[in-house]
Amino acid sequence: MKIKSLLWTFPLASMAFLSGCVTHTTEAVRVQPEINVERQNIGNQSEVAVRVIDDRNRTDVGGRNSWSGSTVNIRVADNLTQSIGQQVMANLAAREFHPVPYTDNLRRKLIVRILKLSYNQSRGIVTTGTTIDCVMQISAENNGRTYTKTYRGGNNLTNVLIPNASADSKAISAAISDSLNHLLDDRKLLDFLAQ
C-alpha cells in the first residue's frame, strides 16, 4: 500500500516542480498577405493619398502554450503598416487608381487603421484550438465627404499538434488577407474614391 502511494507522490511532485520552471519565449512570425487582385478600370488614374496606422493597444499578437508548459509570445517580425500599405497601394493601382504616400493636400485620402490582430489558443484533451482575429477600419475622404467602415477577418483552427512558427505565420497571414480582401473588395469604397 505504501509503495502505491509513493508511486503517485513522485509524478505529482515532479509536476509541481516543473510548473515552477515554465519558460517564456518569443516567436517572430513573418506576414505575407495574399490579396485577390482583379484588374478593373474604376479609378481613372485618380490620385489617392494612402496611410496605414497601427492602432493596436499591444504590439504582440498573442501567445500559446506548449505541452511542456512553456509559453510562446507571438509577435509580427515585419513592419505591419508597411506590409499592409504595400498591398493596399498595389490593389488600388490594379483598379486604375494612382495611390501615393499620404499628404493632406490631395482631395482623395484613404487611412487604414489596424485595430486588432490577435492570436488566442484554447487547449482540449487531444487538440488545441486557435482563433485569429484581424480588424481594420478605414476612413476615406473625397472632396470634404467621408466614408468609414470596419472590416473583420480571421479563422478558427483545430490542431492535433502544437503549431510552429511556419504554421502560425500562414494562419496570421490568412487572417490579415481575409480582412484586407473585404476592405479592397468594398465596391462602395472604390466608387466613393473614384468620384
CA distances to 45, 72, 107, 171 from 75, rounded to whole Å, are: 37, 10, 36, 13
Name the packing angle between helices 165-184 and 80-94 (round to 10°): 40
Q: Dihedral of the CA atoms 53, 54, 57, 61 (nearest 10)?
A: 160
| Mean per-residue pLDDT over the chain, rounded | 85
Residue 48 to residue 184: CA distance in whole angstroms: 14
Residue 79 to residue 73: CA distance in whole angstroms: 17
Give first-to-last CA distance, the chain, whole Å: 85
Taking residues 2-22, report their average pLDDT: 47
Mention every residue, 6+ apart, whose C-beta is less than 8 A from residue 8: none
Res. 21: pLDDT tops 60: no
- Which ranges of 42-158 would DSSP assign to H, the alpha helix? 80-94
- Give pLDDT, residue 20: 44
Q: What is the pLDDT of residues 79-118, one digit of tens each?
A: 999 999 999 999 999 999 999 999 999 999 999 999 999 9
- The architecture CATH gives domain 37-194: 2-Layer Sandwich (3.30)
Q: Which run of H or E residues covers position 180?
A: helix 165-184
Of residues 155 and 178, the one with the higher pLDDT is 178
Among the ranges given (19-33, 115-129, 149-163, 167-181), the one the predictor scored with the smallest mean pLDDT: 19-33
Q: How many CB atoms lie within 10 A of CB 80?
A: 20
Residue 186's pLDDT band (cuts 50, 70, 90):
very high
- Give pLDDT, residue 22: 47
Residue 4's pLDDT band (cuts 50, 70, 90):
low
- Give pLDDT, residue 148: 98
Taking residues 61-65, report their average pLDDT: 81
